[in-house]
Amino acid sequence: MEDLFATRDALAVAELVRSRQIGVREVLDATLARLREANVELNAITDFYEDELLGKSIAAAGDGPFHGIPFVVKQLMADCAGTPTTVGSRFFAKEPVALHDSAAVARMRRAGLVIAGRSNTSEFGLAPTTEPAFGGATVNPWRADLSPGGSSGGSAAVVAARALPMAHATDGGGSIRIPASLCGLFGLKPSRGRISLAPIGETLAGAGAQLCVSISVRDSAALLEALAGGEPGDPYRAPEAEGSFLEATRRSPARLRIAFLRKPVGWETMDPALVAAVEQAAKRLEVLGHHVEEAVPDYDPVATGIAFGTVMCANTFTNIQVRANGRVPGPGDLEPVTQLYAEQGGRISAHDYIRAVQTFHRTGRQLGAFFERFDILLSPTIARPSLPLGTVRMDGTLEEYEAGLAPMVAFTSVCNAAGVPAMSVPLEWTEDGLPIGMHFVARYGAEATLLSLAAQLEQAHPWRERWPGRVT
């Protein structure tokens, strides 16, 4: 049982449970022991479920595709009945517990997942690392001086360490894909409106999404299938998928028209190691029979970045006001950058916010036109090969924070603005053996295309047995 998830994904272990080769409680006890052991070094899990709460999770797990698989839910954008959602903040750590599950969490339970805890996140998910002042930094299992990325770094760290086969993750500017890249995992950000955020209507003007990080493509596909669909009153709803997402992983894609980038749009240069990695990935795709050429989408990255700042600041201010329910943060309750973002957000006019949302929509139309010519856009996931702890500071000035942020979201955030699906695939590696995620973007609603391509790459260039402590 010790190496249950070393190479088996969640669907494989669920099949062992279904065939009664192992029991639900046996899997859960072994997993919790492994999680607790790993957490001593990683600091990735903020709360472990115990006693009555854990018993309720077991009882609530349905007979779905993941029956009996332990799971952790990030402390952001998802409520689990019986526990508070801290959003990584000291100020909200003593909030009343949630009375109800979020819609997506309820679907997770129906899919058979046994929620066993909550995973660490940066405060309000603002940083592309996971080093909150409340609870402390999560460590990348590949190397103790590195961050696993963020803001879903807690989930990514435990999956990279093979303590779990997959874990909940959210993405407002890259927070599924960034930690997937830095931890050697698969991470898919779905299209806007593919998975309901109920009971909230939206997050970050429609930029927010949720799913998971996983060791296999098919686990992400099966979870997407289980969580996809709207709830009454949702402001966005992605188009109905043509067939099963899981089935898409079982077939090779048609010959795809793939464009690739040697550097972020608007940048002059990029790390030569990353240029070499994306060129190598392009060659791999050509060998698989796809048409590959260099091409740059036509959108304004500066305007999109400014719009993102406006939306993030305004949402930070408003979310604190709403969640605080009349309480006022005192000294030390919020991290300095969060406080600065909130103060700036309180000064943003309705006119400025509307212009930012219009910029999101214009960017979406520009990417939409690009995807009339191409099926896929390829690049590295992030514009740096690794992320040492302390690189992105939440305890300094906005200028310092934004300088650390820029290379982390240079490829990812435009997908959130436009609402299109995108994924990070652990396809390349640095000379010293660290993972380099490759970023693939598709047109709105085309998750099946991405999943089919990812499964093809997974078969051609397997990564599951390449993990910290067992690098092959």
CB atoms under 10 Å from CB of 325, counted, come to: 8
Phi, psi of 30 (to 5 degrees): -65, -40
Torsion of CA 343, 344, 345, 348, to 10 degrees: 130
Return d(Cα 237, Cα 198) in angstroms, integer. Answer: 12
Contact 368, 423 (CB under 8 A): no
Q: What is the mean pLDDT of each run of 10 residues along the chain (472 residues)?
A: 82 96 95 96 97 96 97 97 96 90 98 98 98 97 98 98 97 98 98 97 96 98 98 95 94 97 97 98 98 98 98 97 90 96 97 98 98 98 98 95 97 98 98 97 98 98 88 44
Spell out the domain ranges in the chain: 10-460
Our answer to whether residue 74 is catalytic in this structure is yes
Q: How far is Cα of residue 348 from the mean position of the Cα atoms in its chain?
A: 28
Given the residues 89, 102, 175, 452, the one annotated as active site: 175
Distances (CA, A) of 315 to 126, 198, 306, 323: 11, 17, 14, 12
pLDDT tens per residue across span 271-322: 999 999 999 999 999 999 999 999 999 999 999 999 999 999 999 999 999 9
pLDDT score for 446: 98
pLDDT tens per residue across span 72-92: 999 999 999 999 999 999 999
Our answer to whether residue 263 is catalytic in this structure is no
Contact 294, 262 (CB under 8 A): yes
Tokens of 27: 């899997």
Find out if CATH 3.90.1300.10 is the number for domain 10-460. Answer: yes
Our answer to whether residue 413 is catalytic in this structure is no
Contact 415, 460 (CB under 8 A): no
Given the residues 89, 102, 122, 151, the one annotated as active site: 151
